[in-house]
Amino acid sequence: MGRDRHACIAREPLGDGVEHRRRHVDAEGRALGVRGEDQRAQAAVAAAEVEDAPGQATGEIAYEHALALRRDYVDVMNNLGVLLMAKDSFSEAEEVLRRSANGRERLLGKEHPDTLTSLGNLSAALGGLHQYAEAEVLDRRVLEARRRIGKPGDRATLLAGYNLAVNLVNQGKARRALPLAREIAKEAEQYLPEGDSEREDYANLLRIVLEQQKK
């Protein structure tokens, strides 16, 4: 299928590779006082909850510093998950991306663009594991949120619609995917410039869904 289902949006440059990101995650974990893989997520959560007595400058600084550390930590984990997917390490990617999504949701909110990016990446990892039902739930959540917070023609919204349509096709539900494929192809044609590669991706998706429906 034209557009790579696992070519997900990363919040920051991906660096030199998976090992580079692993080292970065370990470094962030040490900065948060983390020892051991199983403690990383808990330490990230705890760091965001650090507070001193209300109104004390030292407490405010400590809290802001902890928030910044945790934000960087979940961002790095998101990008590590994307790199793991690129290496077809979907099981490990799923674990890392689930932590990133949960951390971003707690820190930023359920409909923050970065949270939705992590959820979309998690859905892609689940798709790589053929866990399409859970991936579909996430894809629908992301698409609905993108529509609420975005404008018509937003690339992130179109991508969310594409991902859901691909998920449905992978489950043999081309008939259910067809209205969505038509919608995003029409929206892409209306809002994306002529010659844009993504616009062509959405047109190709519609053709594929139509072909699948005939089988």
pLDDT at 76: 85
Predicted structure pTM score = 0.72
What sign does the CA torsion over 37, 40, 41, 42 have? positive
Among 40-49, 56-65, 102-111, 121-130, name the most confident range: 121-130
* Residue 131 confidence (pLDDT) above 80: yes
Burial 71-93 (b: 16+ CB within 10 A, else e): bbbbbbbbbbbbbbbbeebbeeb
Q: pLDDT band at 213, cuts 50/70/90?
A: confident
* Residue 190 confidence (pLDDT) above 70: yes
Distance CA(142)–CA(72), nearest Å, equals 22
Q: pLDDT band at 174, cuts 50/70/90?
A: very high
